[in-house]
Amino acid sequence: MAYDYQAVHALDGTIGAVPGQRANHLAVHRATAIAVVLAAPGHGAEAAGILVADGAFEARFCGPGEWLVLSEVHAPETLVAELSVRLGAFAFVVDQSHGRVALTLSGPDAARILANGIAVDLHPGAFAVGRAATMLCNHLSVNLARTGVDRFDLVVMRSFAEAFVADLKVMARSHDLSVDFATR
Amino acid sequence: MTAYRLASGGLIDRSNTIGFTFDGASLSGHAGDTLASALLANDRLLVGRSFKYHRPRGIVTAGPAEPNALVTIGTGARRDPNTKATVAELYDGLAATSQNRWPSLAFDIGAVNDRLSRFLSAGFYYKTFMWPAAFWEKVYEPLIRRAAGLGRTDLPRDPDGYEKSWAHCDLLVVGSGPAGLAAALVAARSGLRVILAEQDFVLGGALLSETTRLDGEAPFVFARHALDELHGHPGVTLLPRTTVFGWYDDNVFGAVERVQKHSATIDAARPVERLWRIVAKHAILATGAEERPLVFGGNDRPGIMMASAASTYANRFGIAAGRSVAIFTNGSSGYRTAEDLSAQGVEIAALIDSRTDASDRAPDGVRVVRGGGIIDTKGRRRVRAVIADRGGFEELIACDAVAMSGGWSPVIHLACQRGGKPVWSQALQAFLAPEAGDGLVMAGAAAGHYRLSECLDDGARKASAIVEALGRPVAGFERPVVGEEVDPSFTALWHVPGARSKAFVDFQNDVHGKDLGLALREGFGHVEHAKRYTTSGMATDQGKLGNINAIGILATMRGVSPAEVGTTTFRPFYTPVSFGALAGSSRDEHAMPVRRSPLHGWAARHGAVFIDAGLWYRSSWFPKAGEKTWRESVDREVRTVREHAGLCDVSTLGKIEVFGPDAAEFLNRLYCNPVLKLPVGKARYGLMLREDGMVYDDGTVSRLAEEHFLVTTTTAMAAGVLSHMEFAAQVLWPELRVRFLSVSDQWAQMSIAGPKARTILQAVVEDDLSNAAFPFLAAREVRLKGNLKARLFRISFSGELAYELAVPAGYGEAVADALMRAGEPQGLCAYGVEALNVLRIEKGHVTHAELDGRVTPDDAGLGRMMGTGKPDFIGKRLSTRFGLTAADRAQLVGLKALEADKDMRAGAHLLKDGAKPSTINDQGWVSSVCFSPTLGTHIALAFLKSGRERYGEKIVVWDKLRGVETFAEVCDPVFVDPENRKLMA
């Protein structure tokens, strides 16, 4: 018997892709490696320093002493291994590549669409490019990172990903939105 | 004809004619009309019947305080009852119907109530319908509700969409009149993020109906220029058709925007209404002032309206309220209306001024009756004449409309919604807003500044102060040159003496002056009591017009100042808001997000029947061809697990990884049983207590490394346990060096249970799974064939030889498929949560059906788990308190049904044979039941007083809900394999 396991993405066959690239677009990332870094108690500053100083990783704040690290180039295991080596005793690294789903919302109405579910002020002056935080979007928790004036990365729990995308489509009802898996 | 459209004038588009219907009659108006102005233009004075007496009623105001002109707009599923015609924007195809009348508006049977009114005084139904008591709910109340009332709703599904949005600004300006516009201009020019909200569909507020010139031009021209400029500022959001209805904590304002309420055709891509939650650093309420009605005999006849409304209809809508208008005033407002109407060529029948001396000038040729009052009016469906009284001299004055003005009240509603009480101003004879702190200030007429110049100055001044407070340079505002202004003062007149007929205080609720007197006589003189007793100030308008007069009358009757009477409590909403807007998009599947297991697709492919389990969808059972009932499927699944093996999705269990040098100590204090010495590579059952000693949750603790643990929780308590741990780490023991993270979504987890479980797993797993290499409670990482890392735990909920295998969620389906293939020769089947439940009842394992918050570890038969030797753990102290250690506490037992054809249900109570059902005789309750295919009988888990001493006793299972009694035998709760031979195999 051959054992060749194929991973299924949480949104495979469920998102009801709205194809093409409309004015606003929600891209679902199929193979992003995601790790959560928890600073060891008393070592938040050291962990933050290593994460921020190292341009190799996209570290997103999601709570005191807690970051999400996303990578499009690492495999989940290598991401965890590399982070663990660099952070040493300053942090604990947990693979969440299968536990979370990464999405990118871009377009001129991106902030306006998100304001239909998110209470945080997303004006570029208040939530600048490069900032990230974990917040509620309607019923669900999402880590939101601003990667451009009109561009946001969203990380949601895997089990809620389908409900989240369905919600986002409703939030974007008055705005031209396409939804599809990202092409690499 | 009385009311009519003037030949010219107004801010309506006369080139754009709009067709609409009222009670089926086809009528027309113009773009820019409200439904009320269009009805007036068509001389439709009679628009409704009153709440209690069914009196004919007409349009009283030109704004959101309207008490009478409540109509139902729309048809079918889009009917909106109780819509104020005075704010409803006219659109092509609008269909309006009148309310609270039968069979028709002109001939209404209910009007007989008016003749019976001496039996229908305030509070009459409390006195009249007292006996017999049972009749109130079944007979009296339904009758009263049908007889009295407003519009009716029916319940077809709302076909339209709604939206909820957040907005943020430095300054929220509520109201777009002179004060609001001046404030918005200053703030916008100073670079602030500004939101300007206006309930009207045209921005401009009073400037749309005002005639005092600004820079030599009509004031709406100034408004237009100001709005053009505001449009050009990128930081400014203009929100017309948006009512700010509430002021909440942290300076958050609730507002509802009517996005598509002015259209007969609905664009499905847009919401019909949008609920805004506006987070404002500062807010300026420029909400203007409300004109007060006068309380005189017969003051409710159609054709009697507020003086300012008569002016607005003339100036903004180009409509004369009548051909001959009588004006009754206690201040300058009546004179201004006289001017506005005279300027349009409308005859003024008389100007009756309650004051004996006043400096106001009436237009040339208008007769002024000073020191007079109206004591009655004539006419039925419209006013024909008024009876004026001056010092006992009565005079009948013919007219076809009456404009009344009782002075002005600042609109302070929002500012009083968070507990601040209005403050009485003797100088202004009005209640003003309380000091609200930094976040909210009043400006213009809402602050008691009634002159146009004052409004502009005050708005600009208040905005400048806010710009300064935000540390920005203040931009200039050059106030336009204001034309000739009049003294806005008035002399309060709470009620007009000598009324010959009912003098209404609250039009909407049919409360007249005598009702308030009755309330006071019967001991309900407090303003809040008077409101409930008389219903004054209730229903959709909440007394926007009438309350101030009710307060004034109560004050007069009690011989005190209105300051002493005070106001009733202001609460959201300022005006009614639809449930649709409040729900937003949270309906159907968007009301509660669906949470799917990573094995959902696998279960669906195997034909699972799913069930809502909390937020999750879980596979309940897997019917096979030929199985007719769920019991057949479940019985087969249970037997297969006991004889061969089964695979169940247990991914929904909460999983939390715990790290740190103090992780073991942390968990040792969190669980009641010892955790400190758990070896690496081993799992242990764990029980968490609450502080009060009751069981909170159970699960397993596995030590993956010296300073790395994985704990599982029940599905239901996953979020609760995580919060509990956060609290313990942050508040109880901040000194412990520990971090943790929920990893529930990372793993797909499968239970493989049954005598063949090892054989099946070994086909898939590289590592040695022999009993010696992987004994009971082993827990560690393994490698699957095909080189996939997984976590394997030898734990059992069923009592069988069992394992739980966790793989990264995305691989869950593939691994489950591989196991099913490997298990096929061994007879492996998929089983759902129903079979899981039967298996654990047979083995006597508890779930939250047993751990219901009233149960101690000892009650559940787990008393020996308590690590009483530990220095401390949550729940330790209170576990020893009196009552928790009593010998007669209900203890977990098993029950075997003695009558084969009778099942048992959870919730049934236990009685001694022959005892009468009573609280005293209650012996305990049934917590979980099932049919046991293994034993071939119905069994149950139950809590029974001193139960462990009573094995073998015959007991009555008393089920009052179903009216069933059955006998059962008390036994050990472990029905299957009490020696754990299968478990350890």
d(CA A110, CA A88): 38
Closest alpha carbon within chain B to A30: B810
Which of B357, B320, B317 lies closest to B337 in space, CA to CA? B320
Q: Does A2 touch chain B (CB under 8 A)?
A: yes
The DSSP result for B534-560, as a single string, is H-TT-TTTTTTTTHHHHHHHHHHHHTS
Same domain as B627, residue B753: yes
Q: Does A1 touch chain B (CB under 8 A)?
A: yes
Last residue of a domain, one of B744, B772, B788: B744
**Other beta carbons within 10 Å of B621:** 26
Sequence ranges of chain A with CATH classification 3.30.1360.120: 24-30+99-181
Interval B803-849: pLDDT, tens: 999 999 999 999 999 999 999 999 999 999 999 999 999 999 999 99
Name the helix (H) or strand (E) containing B432: strand B430-432
Mean pLDDT of chain B: 94
Q: Do A40 and B821 touch (CB under 8 A)?
A: no
Chain A residues with CB inside 8 Å of B741's CB? Answer: 36, 38, 66, 94
> Which member of A5, A119, A162 has the closest CB to residue B814?
A5
Q: Does A143 touch chain B (CB under 8 A)?
A: no
Same domain as B391, residue B340: yes
Q: Any idea what DSSP says for residue B137? A: I
Closest alpha carbon within chain B to A5: B814
**CATH, range A33-95:** 3.30.70
CATH of the domain at B660: 3.30.70.1400
β-sheet bridge partners, residue B750: B649, B805
**Other beta carbons within 10 Å of B508:** 29
Q: What percent of chain B has pLDDT over 70?
A: 97
Q: What percent of chain A has pLDDT over 70?
A: 97
Tokens 């530990």 belong to residue:
B870
The model's pTM is 0.93
Same domain as B271, residue B169: yes
Same domain as B171, residue B265: yes
Residues 6+ apart with CB under 8 A from B579: none
- ipTM for the complex shown: 0.97
Q: Could you tell me if residue B849 is inside a domain?
A: no
Same domain as B279, residue B297: no
In our burial notation (b when 16+ CB lie closer than 10 A, e otherwise), range B102-132 reads eeebeebebbebbeebeebebbbeeeebeee
What was the pLDDT predicted at A55? Answer: 73
Tokens 């029974």 belong to residue:
B944
Same domain as B646, residue B658: no
> Which member of A5, A39, A164 has the closest CB to residue B815?
A5
| Average pLDDT of the residues in B529-546 | 90
Q: Do A9 and B810 touch (CB under 8 A)?
A: yes
Query: Cβ distance B673 to B686 under 8 Å?
Result: yes
CATH of the domain at B765: 3.30.1360.120
Q: Could you tell me if residue B530 is inside a domain?
A: yes
d(CA B159, CA B887): 61
> Which member of B270, B279, B738 has the closest CB to residue A121?
B279
B244: left (phi over 0), alpha (psi -120 to 50) or beta: beta
Gap from B261 CA to chain A (nearest CA, Å): 16
Chains A & B: contacts with CB separation below 8 Å = 152
Query: Cβ distance B195 to B169 under 8 Å?
Result: yes
What was the pLDDT predicted at A99? Answer: 98
Q: Does A167 touch chain B (CB under 8 A)?
A: yes
Same domain as B762, residue B639: yes
Same domain as B91, residue B167: no
Quick one: tokens of B580? 């649709």
What was the pLDDT predicted at B614? Answer: 77
What was the pLDDT predicted at B812? Answer: 97
Q: Could you tell me if residue B336 is inside a domain?
A: yes
Query: Cβ distance B665 to B873 under 8 Å?
Result: no
Last residue of a domain, one of B820, B840, B860: B840
d(CA B953, CA A169): 61
The residue of A1, A5, A66, A156 whose CB has the most chain B CBs within 10 angstroms, and thus the best one to mutate to test that interface, is A5
**Other beta carbons within 10 Å of B435:** 10
| Average pLDDT of the residues in B142-150 | 66
Quick one: tokens of B607? 């034909």
Same domain as B277, residue B190: yes
Q: What percent of chain B has pLDDT over 90?
A: 87
d(CA B184, CA B194): 7
Query: Cβ distance B209 to B168 under 8 Å?
Result: no
Residues 6+ apart with CB under 8 A from B292: B405, B406, B407, B408, B409, B545, B548, B549
Quick one: tokens of B951? 């094995």
| Average pLDDT of the residues in B287-315 | 97
- CATH of the structural domain A24-30+99-181, one choice from 3.90.198.10, 1.20.120.50, 2.40.100.10, 3.30.1360.120: 3.30.1360.120
Q: Do A94 and B743 touch (CB under 8 A)?
A: yes
Chain A residues with CB inside 8 Å of B744's CB? Answer: 99, 159
Same domain as B304, residue B218: no
Q: Could you tell me if residue B482 is inside a domain?
A: no
Q: Could you tell me if residue B27 is inside a domain?
A: yes
Q: Could you tell me if residue B774 is inside a domain?
A: yes
d(CA B611, CA B609): 7
Sequence ranges of chain A with CATH classification 3.30.70: 33-95
Q: Any idea what DSSP says for residue B185? A: H
Residues 6+ apart with CB under 8 A from A47: A37, A39, A40, A65, A67, A87, A90, A91
Chain B residues with CB inside 8 Å of A95's CB? Answer: 746, 808
d(CA B332, CA B360): 6
Domain that holds residue B254: 162-289+411-469
Q: How many domains does chain B have?
A: 6
Same domain as B320, residue B273: no
CATH of the domain at B389: 3.50.50.60
Tokens 């974007």 belong to residue:
A172
Gap from B264 CA to chain A (nearest CA, Å): 19
Q: Give me the residues of A, 10-69, that contact B with CB < 8 A.
A: 10, 13, 36, 38-42, 65-66
Gap from B743 CA to chain A (nearest CA, Å): 7
Chain B residues with CB inside 8 Å of A159's CB? Answer: 595-598, 616, 744-745
Q: Does A89 touch chain B (CB under 8 A)?
A: no
Q: What angle do CA B647, B648, B652 make, to 5 degrees?
A: 150
Residue type, B769: L
d(CA B104, CA B102): 5
Same domain as B791, residue B729: no
Q: What share of chain B is helix, strand, coil (3-state, %, to 5)?
A: 25, 30, 45
Tokens 């919060």 belong to residue:
B723
Q: Could you tell me if residue B598 is inside a domain?
A: no
Closest alpha carbon within chain A to B169: A121
d(CA A19, CA A25): 9
Quick one: tokens of A95? 């693979």
Query: Cβ distance A70 to A32 under 8 Å?
Result: yes
Interval B635-650: pLDDT, tens: 999 999 999 999 999 9
Gap from B161 CA to chain A (nearest CA, Å): 9
Q: Do B741 and A36 touch (CB under 8 A)?
A: yes
What was the pLDDT predicted at A178? Answer: 94
Q: Do A170 and B590 touch (CB under 8 A)?
A: yes
Last residue of a domain, one of B548, B565, B582: B565
Closest alpha carbon within chain A to B655: A99
**In this model, does residue B1 exceed pLDDT 80?**
no
Q: Is A166 exposed, middle or buried (0-12, 13-18, 19+ CB in 10 A)?
A: middle
Q: Could you tell me if residue B386 is inside a domain?
A: yes
Residuewise pLDDT in 10s, chain A (184 residues)? 667 899 999 999 887 667 778 999 999 999 889 999 999 999 999 999 999 877 778 899 999 999 999 999 999 999 999 999 999 999 999 999 999 999 999 999 999 999 999 999 999 999 999 999 999 999 999 999 999 999 999 999 999 999 999 999 999 999 999 999 998 6
d(CA B620, CA B973): 24
Interval B903-950: pLDDT, tens: 999 999 999 999 999 999 999 999 999 999 999 999 999 999 999 999
**In this model, does residue B149 exceed pLDDT 80?**
no
β-sheet bridge partners, residue B808: B747
Using N-to-C axis directions, what is the helix angle for B307-315 and B333-343, rounded to 10°? 30
CATH of the domain at B505: 1.10.10
The dihedral built from the CA positions of residue B462, B465, B471 and B477, taken in this order, carries a sign that is positive
> Which member of B269, B601, B660 has the closest CB to residue A8?
B601
